[in-house]
Structures are given as C-alpha cells and as structure tokens.
Amino acid sequence: MKKKQIDIILRNQHDFFEKGVTLDISFRIRALQRLKACIKRNENAIHRALQKDLGKSSYESYMCETGMVYSEITYMLKHIRSFARDEHVPTPLAQFHAVSFKKPSPYGNILIMSPWNYPFMLTIEPLVDALAAGNTAVLKPSAYSPHTSEVIRKIIQECFPSSYVAVVTGGREENTCLLQQPFDYIFFTGSQAVGKEVMRHAAEHLTPVTLELGGKSPCIVDKSANLRLAARRIVFGKFLNCGQTCVAPDYIYCDRSVRSALVEEICKEIKRQFGSDPLRNPNYGKIINEKHFRRITGLIDPKKIAFGGNVNPKTLQIAPTVLTNVSFKDAVMQEEIFGPVLPVLTFHSLDEAIRRVNALPHPLALYFFTRNKSAAKKVMTRCGFGGGCINDTIIHLATSEMGFGGFGPSGMGSYHGKDGFRTFSHYKSIVDKKLWLDLPMRYQPYRFLYEKMVRFFLR
C-alpha cells in the first residue's frame, strides 16, 4: 500500500472519530457483535489460512486463535458498560463541595501491529479491546503469514468501513510508513529488535505505546515436583505451534538430582503427544519460513541431543528436540529460541536458580513446578517476570480476568479484559465543583486564619 493511501485512511479515521460516533456504547457493542458474527461465518477460511501459514490443525487453530478471540469478545460484551462508566472517587475535604471522577475516554486512532506466530488472535484480540474502548484502528498484520493476513483483510472489509477499521498489508516499507504517522496510540506485538524501532518512531510524536515482546522464559523444576505431570504440561507448552509462542518455556532449569528422571519423562511425553515420528503427524505444524528454520536448526548442537533432532527442510519442520548438558554459554542460550528445541540446564539450589534467573533480562513468562508451597511463594515473589504459572505453562494468558504483558526487555503495558480496555483508554481526572459554596482560604490576601485552615486540611 502506498503512502498516499495510508495518509487518506488516517485522515478519514481522524474525521470519523471527531464525529463522536464511537463514544456511544451501543455503537461499540454492535461493532463487536458484528465482528464476532463475521468471524464465525469465516471460521473455516481462517483455519485454512492458518494451516497454510503455520501448518496448524483446525483443532489447534480454534483452541489458540479463533476460540480465544470469541472468548475476549464475549467478555467485553458482558462488561463493556461497567468498564465505560465514570469511576467516582472521594473528594478531599479542602475541595468541599465537589464530586470527583475519572472518565474513561478513547485515545482516538490506534495502530495495531501484530506478529506471524498467532497471526489471527494477536491481531484481533487487541482490536476487540481497542473498539470496546471507543477507538478507530489501523491493523498491520505480519507479511510472514500472508494467507491469514488476507483473511483478516476480508473480514474487516466485510465488517467495517475503512474510516473506522482498516487493514494495511505489506512489509517493511508499509511498517515504516505507518510508524511515521501521528497515531494516538501504538500497540505492537513482536520481537525486541523491532519493538525498539517502534518505540523510537513513537518518540518522534510522543505517542504512547504498548509493547508485547518476548524473551527466554524459564521453566524451573525443583526436586519435589510431580515429574510425570510436569513433563506433560511442559511438552504441551513448549511444542505448541512448534515452539513459536512468545510465552513458551524457552528452557528447563531443574534441580540436578531430578534431571535424568525429568528428561526421561519428557521424552516419553513427546512420543505420547506427537507419536514416534512427529514429522508425519498431521497435527504437528511447521516453522514459518526458511529463514527461521535455518536459525533454529543452527542452535541445535548434535552432540547434546537427548531426543529428536530430526528435520525436514522441504516442509520446514523440526521435530521436538531435547538438549542436555547445556550451559548458559551455549549458542542456544544466547537468544530466544522460538522453536521446538528444549535445552535442559541444572542448578544445585533454588537460591542459585533465583539468582541466575534474576541476573538475566526479565522474561515475559516464568514457570515453576513444585509441591512445596513456600518454595513457590519464594520464586514467584523474588523473580522478575511478566506473568506465569505454578505447576503449568502458558495458561495464564488464556483468561480475560487478568492482564497479559511483560516488563523491561519483555515489554511494557498489558491487555486482555479490563486491562485491555484500560490500555486503550485515557482516564480524564475531573472535579465537578458546586456553585453554592466557595471556601475563601485559597485566595489572596492570605490571612492567619486561612493558613490555620490550610494546615488543618493538608496534613
């Protein structure tokens, strides 16, 4: 899409927002209902596109993409009126008589830039929150998942005029053009490297941003853990979408006394979930493109393979792979893996594990497997991370009741449910002062009695 077309879209959206149409809660509700109905009509097309882009089965596509979007829309439709109400707060006695409240107001024109790993869900879920808050939006899905991007474009065109919601497809040229525009808010999901560029461009216009990034999310396993159940849940979280999940366990960090038993259980569980030959499993997906396929295979040290390691360059598939005898100096520990490769490292004590995790950049997620409640409290309290689970993986993001996001290198800001509504809203602080009383103490000339009154109120 050319710069001139993008300029026209933004100008039209600005004009549409200025009319105040999106301020009406009933208008927002109808928009969300229309979006949900359109997704349902196109559900099979969405799933076919996800299969072409990432090899996802229809089951996984519903569980992790369309179903998640339905859930978010349903939640918003249920709560939008309460979220949009003015929030009344106490007024200081010094401001007697007045009413104080915070008014949630839409920012205006939102840019949502989404990645390729969950291309439908990570585009539409933020849109749901943005529309619920009363904004207009421009969507920029990833060029790496073209089939899904095309379905998204068709759905949005079917649902909304481009003056309300528009889709811009393309690659770096379009990204750069969009980031040069004066949006009122930018919501970005993707890599840390691109996140820095987004933030740098946003700074030119002092545009607020939410960054949903990633990082090396640790999976800590202590010696008290239920190893069989831990293995099952770790294998699910790690190899879902072939490891191309921002909150996938990036590596296992386990007590050295249970490493062998844990690895044995993980190998059993991989066979159980994916079969003896995962590359022939029709429900096992593929790496998004050849570039990432080569990057991931380059992180596999053949000498350290405990399980898997098989690849198919023609189909861009990498079998679930477990690496042992790995150290923090190995290549696989120098970057976020974002693929079906699971390194296993060990620690001598839980305190050592906590110190090591905290010495690394804050991860987007952290998982801890244990039967010891005090140990769980210790890890969850002392380690820095965006969100996580005790005795499970990745499910913390599958709820609209809690915000999802990272901090530091793993991102800033959050969304889902009320947190999503708040992300795309500016809360105006307003004092409605009554006319029938006007306390004189703030006005000059200052008097001794008034000073006494000020000191009484402000203490």
Specify whether 64 is catalytic: no
Catalytic residue among 64, 177, 219, 246: 246
Q: CA–CA separation, 153 vs 142, rounded Å?
A: 12
What the block records as the tokens of 196 is 């820095």
Buried b (16+ CB within 10 A) or exposed e, 410-438: bbbbbbbbbbbbbbbbbeeeeeeeeeeee
Q: Virtual CA dihedral for 69, 72, 73, 77, nearest 10 degrees?
A: 170
Which stretch of DSSP H or E encloses residue 81?
helix 67-83
Q: Count, in order, helices (H) and strands (E) of the chain.
A: 16, 18
Q: CA–CA separation, 39 vs 151, rounded Å?
A: 10
Q: How many CA atoms lie within 13 A of 85 on its CB side?
A: 6
Q: CA–CA separation, 275 vs 212, rounded Å?
A: 33
Specify whether 212 is catalytic: yes
Q: Which residues pair with 427 in a beta bridge?
A: 104
The tokens 């006007």 sit on which residue?
Answer: 438
Q: CA–CA separation, 4 vs 383, rounded Å?
A: 48
What the block records as the tokens of 373 is 């409640």
Q: CA–CA separation, 320 vs 306, rounded Å?
A: 11
Would you put residue 392 in left (φ > 0), alpha (ψ -120 to 50) or beta?
beta
Catalytic residue among 212, 265, 269, 336: 212
- Least Cα distance to 13 among 164, 167, 131, 181 occurs for 164
**What secondary structure letter does DSSP report for 415?**
B
What the block records as the tokens of 456 is 């009484």
What are the distances in angstroms from CA 69 to CA 35, 216, 430? 10, 26, 34
Please give the positions annotated as active site.
212, 246
